[in-house]
Amino acid sequence: MPRWGMVIDLARCVGCYACTIACKVENGTPPGVWYAPVYEREVGSYPTAKRLFLPTLCYHCKNPPCMKACPTKAISKREDGIVLVDREKCCGSRACVAACPYGALTFVDEIKGEFGDELNPWERARYPQDGVGTVHKCTLCSHRIDEGNHEPACVQTCPTHCRIFGDLEDPGSEVSKLIRERNGAQPRPEAGTDPSVYYLR
């Protein structure tokens, strides 16, 4: 069984935000909900300052605190490591929002249109059912993977090959090699969550 994961090569990211938007369109996330945000920070001092970019997503932890915290068992981990929220079961307690060390979950208590109260045709077609009063989270585009080995939308659109998708269990996969060769680091390892996403500097 594979364990799907991602390697994010920070040296490659140019802060274009293509992943962030591709994800939004792919997953039909409501206004204000972003599964794959890129954080931008200025570091250093003049004249050696620079912007750093940190692409993120749900890290699909092997040991997901969100899943433990959920009182309704709405969060589950698939055999391939993908952690999913089932909004039909979610009661909106937000325990998961609090429990995640990475801010990967977003609670939605109202959905208005991007252009005003009325939804446009895309919004009517794409905003999820059970979207209000529940928690939303990156699915690693499990639906794409299930359709036949597609990459997640953020990976598909990334022009710098900064987001790399693959099987962490397969020692020969590109992600495994990169983690080995370039000392891939998990975010906040001391939290004991064992994320399926590694960063390369």
Min dist CB 12 to another protein, Å, is: 5
Given CA atoms 65, 100, 135, 82 in this order, what sign does their dihedral have?
negative
**Counts of helices then strands in the chain (DSSP H, E):** 7, 9
Closer to another protein by Cβ: residue 7 or 135: 135
Strand 4-9, strand 197-200: pairing = parallel
Q: Report the site for another protein in 155-184 (rule: CB under 8 A).
A: 156-162
Contact residue for another protein among 1, 11, 149, 181 (CB under 8 A): 11
Closer to another protein by Cβ: residue 2 or 76: 76
Min dist CB 181 to another protein, Å, is: 13
Contact residue for another protein among 37, 152, 166, 184 (CB under 8 A): 37
Given CA atoms 35, 111, 90, 129 in this order, what sign does their dihedral have?
negative
Closer to another protein by Cβ: residue 79 or 109: 109
72 binds another protein (CB under 8 A): yes
Closest CA to 82 of 6, 136, 140: 140
107 binds another protein (CB under 8 A): yes
Min dist CB 11 to another protein, Å, is: 8
Contact residue for another protein among 1, 49, 149, 181 (CB under 8 A): 49
Min dist CB 154 to another protein, Å, is: 10
Spatial distance between the Cα atoms of 3 and 62, rounded to a whole number of angstroms: 9
Count of CB atoms situated within 10 Å of the CB of 35: 26
Residue type at 89? Answer: K
Query: What's 122's DSSP letter?
Result: H
